[in-house]
Amino acid sequence: MLEVSDTGSRKLHEFASDVDLANDFPQYRVYRNGQVAAEVTSVADIWQDDFVSFIIGCSFSFESELLAAGIEVRNITEKVNVPMFNTNIPLKSAGPFHGNMVVSMRPIPESQIPTAVQVTGAMPKVHGAPIQIGDPQAIGITDLNHPDYGDSVTINPGEQPVFWPCGVTPQNVIMQTKPPLVITHAPGHMLVTDVVNATLKY
């Protein structure tokens, strides 16, 4: 969790100076009773005075650090969204909220996996180190070519699929707990803030 807004506010105090949370995401998902009711580019018309916004870190923020370490980020190379998968990893429940973790996947050459773990492990505010390496079935993933969200990417010989916790996880929880109304980012359409990625390290 990076920041929590004031109740009803469309502004932030720490991560952006002039943000409008109802208009500045590239795309929103509107959930009603756990179902996707709409994908829109503004939620100003349904904003409520009792809304509280939770700003969660995203693994896109550590991709620049992977690139700086000489590690290819395949979804960037192939100009697609990162593949994301539902898993069988249970989350710690909080009141009525429960569900399983969603992960993102990036194929990494075996020789570079230790570096990838070190680079991302130094950025726990944006999901940190991988949750699983090389064994998708161990976390309930049966087909890497058909992600639950995002796009598939090429996995070359000598590479392993590496999985990180993903900010789409709350949407899985929403679908399980079915609150009357929740607004999220659409997968792959996150808020860009004023904060430089490198400052999100320890």
Which residue type, as a one-letter code, is found at position 65?
Answer: E
Can you say how many angstroms the Cα of residue 163 is from the centroid of all Cα atoms in its chain? 12
Strands 100-109 and 159-165, sheet pairing: antiparallel
Between CA 191 and CA 196, with CA 192 as vertex, the angle to 5 degrees is 140
Find where tokens 């659409």 sit: 186
Across-strand partners of 36? 31
Q: Which residues of the chain have pLDDT under 50?
A: none
Q: What is the C-alpha separation between 59 and 14, in angstroms, rounded?
A: 19
Tokens 């100076």 locate to: 17
Backbone angles phi, psi at 7, to 5 degrees: -60, 125
Indicate whether this model's pTM tops 0.95: no
Per-residue model confidence as pLDDT tens digits over 90-123: 999 999 999 999 999 999 999 999 999 999 999 9
What the chain holds in terms of domains, given with CATH numbers, is 3-200 (3.30.2040.10)
Token pair belonging to 196 = 């430089």
| Cβ neighbour number for residue 181 with a 10 Å cutoff | 13
pLDDT digits (tens, 9 = 90+) for 3-20: 999 999 999 999 988 999
